[in-house]
Amino acid sequence: MKKLLFCLLLSLPVMAFAQVPQPFNVVGKFGALNAKVYLGYQLGSNKILDSAQSVNGSFEFKGDLIYPSLAILIIDYKGVGSDKLDVGANSDKLILYLDKGTINLTSPDSAYKAQITGSPINDMYKKLMAINAEASAKTNKLLTDEIKTADDKSTPADRQNQMQAKLKMIQADYHNALKNFILANPDSYLSLLTLGTLGGPSPNPNEIEPLLDGLSKELRETETARSLRNALESLKITANGAMAPDFEQADTLGHKVRLSSFRGKYVLLDFWASWCAPCRQENPNIVKVFNRFKDKNFTIIGISLDRTDGGFAWMNAIRRDHLAWTQLSDLKFWNNAVAQLYFVQSIPKNFLIDPTGKIIAQDLRGDDLEAKLVEVLGKI
């Protein structure tokens, strides 16, 4: 139960114990509720599960925090105890942030309906959730509309490109909304946490670092900020403008291939896998681009993140998807040596490398990949 209870907290950075804990107090009044109430949160690297008895609707939690912590409050109506408590979608729970000082929770009857007062960080959290909700609503509407208006005359690749173009606009709006939140709230700990997720699995350190520098001095000196800055320094190794790290890996015949042997050409370093549905959906676009530009000083190196027992699936996917370019893999799944060298956290993922060996673009999919190659190679 505790593993489930804290699944929402796992993405938070590990905090340092060197900081001085600050006291917090949660005071609740939920109608005439008589039941056990649980509060789960994070203290440093420890996950805390506390409980209190609600008597005629009144309950209270007290504790200490190093930094503000995302928390979950759940009511145990049936008295089953923490080990059997349902924390699923239908459970009566409240997600909130704990911070130093007193947080007041009021509700006529349930955690789900609770109102939070006396807590600036939770006011900020509502704004963030509104930004997330707007992006989710736009994405869901797009997917629903695409299903209703699907044109059987268009090819799967065309539909994929159209969908990606629309999703890209939604993602750009969402990204800008998060940036504006950070810029408008340089003193909020939530701005620091938002920075850690702004770029998704492939953040651009050249974008994130100036935003980090714009936060208050107090936030910049936290362990969370220091950890983020260290991560950004690592990511600079594969940022746009950096020289692509050289590597050597075996091709489908077991022959060793080195990236630097392609120096003098534009190279798309494409990370994918036979089991990755989005990768396979993108492959027709890459095939089209390869066939158009392969005679114009351009080639592709595929790096597969297939598993140790996935050699046949890898080869079969290459054949079925007509991937007529260099394919490499050590069949070590996410532990692929090249993927680790390039800090690949999700696939599909790609890097465009110029003839000098410099990374000039990344995450080019759909029409964006073709447009970039037209830019650097010219029209045919």
Domain count for the chain, please give it. 3
Cα–Cα distance measured from residue 69 to residue 65, given in angstroms and rounded to the nearest whole number: 8
CATH of the domain at 348: 3.40.30.10
Cα–Cα distance measured from residue 365 to residue 348, given in angstroms and rounded to the nearest whole number: 9
Q: Which pLDDT band, with edges at 50, 70 and 90, does 164 fall under? A: confident
Cα–Cα distance measured from residue 128 to residue 169, given in angstroms and rounded to the nearest whole number: 19
Output the average pLDDT for the chain: 89
Cα–Cα distance measured from residue 162 to residue 168, given in angstroms and rounded to the nearest whole number: 10
Tell me what pLDDT residue 3 has. 37
Of 118, 153, 188, which residue is a domain's last?
A: 118
Can you tell me which residue has the tokens 């290459």?
318
pLDDT tens track for 47-102: 899 999 999 999 999 999 988 999 999 999 988 888 888 788 788 999 999 999 99
Other residues' Cβ atoms within 10 Å of the Cβ of residue 153: 6
Of 118, 136, 171, which residue is a domain's last?
A: 118
| 7 and 51 within one domain | yes
At 253, the amino acid letter reads L
Q: Give yes or no for a contact between 329 and 340, defined as CB atoms under 8 angstroms apart.
A: no
| 108 and 30 within one domain | yes
pLDDT of 210 higher than 90: yes
| 180 and 60 within one domain | no
| 230 and 266 within one domain | no
- Higher confidence at residue 271 or residue 224? 271
| 85 and 171 within one domain | no
| 147 and 187 within one domain | yes
CATH of the domain at 22: 2.60.40
349-353 vs 359-362, strand pairing mode: antiparallel
| 143 and 52 within one domain | no
Q: Give yes or no for a contact between 302 and 323, defined as CB atoms under 8 angstroms apart.
A: yes
**Is 230 inside a domain boundary?**
yes
Cα–Cα distance measured from residue 141 to residue 33, given in angstroms and rounded to the nearest whole number: 38
| 207 and 173 within one domain | yes
pLDDT tens track for 215-246: 999 999 988 899 899 988 888 999 999 999 99
Q: For 108-258, where are the E strands, in sequence order?
A: 115-117, 248-250, 256-258
Of the chain, the percentage scoring pLDDT greater than 90 comes to 71
What residue spans of 250-366 are helical by DSSP H? 277-293, 311-320, 337-341
Cα–Cα distance measured from residue 197 to residue 181, given in angstroms and rounded to the nearest whole number: 13
Give CA torsion, residues 324, 328, 332, 337, to 10 deg: -140
| 281 and 207 within one domain | no
Cα–Cα distance measured from residue 6 to residue 137, given in angstroms and rounded to the nearest whole number: 26
pTM over 0.85: no
pLDDT of 155 higher than 50: yes
| 145 and 113 within one domain | no
Q: Which pLDDT band, with edges at 50, 70 and 90, does 151 fall under? A: low
| 273 and 332 within one domain | yes
What is the domain range of residue 308? 248-377
**Is 25 inside a domain boundary?**
yes
pLDDT of 262 higher than 60: yes
Tell me what pLDDT residue 17 has. 36
**Is 92 inside a domain boundary?**
yes
Tokens of 215: 């936060």
Of 78, 97, 118, which residue is a domain's last?
A: 118
**Is 218 inside a domain boundary?**
yes
**Is 243 inside a domain boundary?**
no
**Is 167 inside a domain boundary?**
yes
pLDDT tens track for 23-52: 999 999 999 999 999 999 988 778 899 999
pLDDT of 345 higher than 60: yes
At 164, the amino acid letter reads Q
pLDDT tens track for 183-199: 999 999 999 999 988 87
**Is 272 inside a domain boundary?**
yes
**Is 208 inside a domain boundary?**
yes
Residue 276 phi/psi, 5-degree rounding, is -90, 105
pLDDT of 359 higher than 70: yes
| 10 and 88 within one domain | yes
